[in-house]
Structure 1
């Protein structure tokens, strides 16, 4: 990654966070919780720019403009809302599970080969 890419990424992130700060307080709180949740759950494409997070802000800006409360937009189960957003996305947990599966298969193959 070039230094220019890093600088551009920081600029984009600052603009992104300015949009969050412009949201009503309840939306900001829920957005930050969603952000934490997604960073922990780890959809792989989340690290490639702010596409998913920007989409959430778009949704929140629309809801706020209509005078809706944030839970009217997300539903009362915010974690389920997040899970639904990333249901078709590959996560770091998926990658790790695949890695564990491959390691177990390799180990079991070695054990089986030695017993033959």
Structure 2
């Protein structure tokens, strides 16, 4: 990874954060909780994939339609997150596999 890749990554992250900050307060709070949960659970493709930006896209659409965030995802935020990553490998799974061998 070169310096240009790092700079581009930072630009993309800043643009992502700006999109999150533009969300209505209820969406922004739930997004931050989801992000914290997903970082803790650790799906392998979280940072490199499009999961977080996909959530922001989904939230932007929900907000544009005038629906509250809990109408869009339901009341169990962790269950919603688990459903999003149900087919993803997590760092915890990789660690358990390596420790068991």
TM-score (structure 1 length as normaliser): 0.85
Q: Which runs of 4+ in 1 moved over 2 A?
A: none
CA distance in 2, matches of 1:3, 1:32: 28
Deviation of 1:18 after TM superposition, in Å, equals: 0.6
Deviation of 1:84 after TM superposition, in Å, equals: 0.1
1:1-116 residue pairs with structure 2 within 5 A?
1-49=1-49, 51-102=50-101
Higher relative contact order (CA 8 A, sep 6+): 2
Structure 1 unaligned regions, length at least 5:
103-116
CA distance in 2, matches of 1:47, 1:16: 12
If you compute each CA radius of gyration, which structure gives the higher value, 1 or 2?
1
Deviation of 1:74 after TM superposition, in Å, equals: 1.1
Deviation of 1:47 after TM superposition, in Å, equals: 2.3
